[in-house]
Amino acid sequence: MRSLAPRSVLCLALVLSGITPSAAITNGLPDGGTHPSVGLILYRQEFPHPELGTYIVNWGFCSGTLIAPDVFLTAAHCVYGEEPNLPILWVSFDTNYSLFEVPAWPDWPEPDPNHPRVRVRSIVVRPDFRNWPQGENEGNADLAALILDLATATGPLPAPADLAPAGILDRLHDAHTLHGRKFTAVGYGQEIEFGGGPPAFTDPYVRRAAESEFLALGPAYVVLSQNLARDDGGTCYGDSGGPNFLRLDDGREVIAAITVTGDSVCRATNVDARVDTGNARAFLATVPGLVLRW
């Protein structure tokens, strides 16, 4: 069985080394305001400069979704061990945020006030998670929630997204209606383009979405196609923790799973931790402020 690194690990290492990360949605389009509950986890750090004054750098590294007024769902491997960084850990809901904020440079774009950011107050990681590569993390262990400090929000936060009903993927699979269904992956980072040479990466830190067709269902994970030959898109480095939405027969769009890994070149599969299983819901039921509706 091939072992794949979680997608945020490489992205974060490249960011901290000063190299632009190869991140995010493949064969997708800017999401705009279609999924406003999807946000970007970032380190927000201030640096003094003798001529420019204080400037701020926003280091984005993982995606996630607001699922309650102050609860942000993401992958455990994104935030495992991040408690010491709580003073600088934020979530941004901007559709296209600026890496740098330099007051002395008026040409730099300011964050969109209609898509605010908010500081993280605490982190809840599923207790049986084992950071890669020490553990296989079976049974939906790669789940975590960020508890947000609403008093620090720079504007109204978006409405929370809905989680999938308990066991919905099993029921659809048993009814033979899961094959052919499309899931919508949403995340931040750089668009990756193939063809005519090495992969090209463009337009960082834009919230994008892509459709992926169902491939396989396991007890803890769902595997989706992002094969360009099938006109599928998907996820890549930097999309960890981001949602994979499924539209139900009644028209509701719900989070069925979150991105955790996939093939190393982001061209074949997107592997996602289900949130509709008993194990996943047992963990989510322990998150302060989160009430499971169905």
Contacts of 186 (CB under 8 A, 6+ apart): 25, 31, 35, 38, 63, 65, 207, 208, 209, 242, 243, 244, 245
Q: Mind listing the pLDDT tens digit for each residue in 120-135?
A: 999 999 998 877 554 4
Q: Is the model's pLDDT at 12 over the cut of 60?
A: no
Q: Which of 105, 267, 96 is nearest to 194 (CA)?
A: 267
Mean pLDDT estimate for the chain: 81
- Model pTM score: 0.85
- pLDDT at position 20, please? 32
- pLDDT at position 78, please? 92
User: For a pLDDT cut of 90, what percent of the chain falls above it?
Assistant: 48
Cβ atoms of residues 41 and 79 within 8 Å: yes
- pLDDT at position 141, please? 87
- pLDDT at position 188, please? 83
Highest mean predicted confidence (pLDDT) among 98-107, 273-282, 285-294: 273-282
**DSSP H helical ranges for 75-194:** 76-79, 168-174
Give the chain's domains with CATH numbers. 1-294 (2.40.10.10)
- pLDDT at position 208, please? 87
Q: Mind listing the pLDDT tens digit for each residue in 132-164?
A: 554 455 667 899 999 999 999 999 999 999 999
Q: Mind listing the pLDDT tens digit for each residue in 183-206?
A: 999 998 655 555 555 555 455 578
Highest mean predicted confidence (pLDDT) among 2-6, 44-48, 113-117: 44-48
Q: Is the model's pLDDT at 262 over the cut of 80?
A: no
Distance between CA atoms of 215 and 269, rounded to whole angstroms? 9
Q: Are strands 221-225 and 208-217 parallel, antiparallel or unpaired?
A: antiparallel
- pLDDT at position 75, please? 94
> Phi/psi at 213 (nearest 5 deg)?
-90, 145
Q: Mind listing the pLDDT tens digit for each residue in 237-257?
A: 678 899 999 999 899 999 999
> Mean pLDDT over residues 211-216, rounded?
89
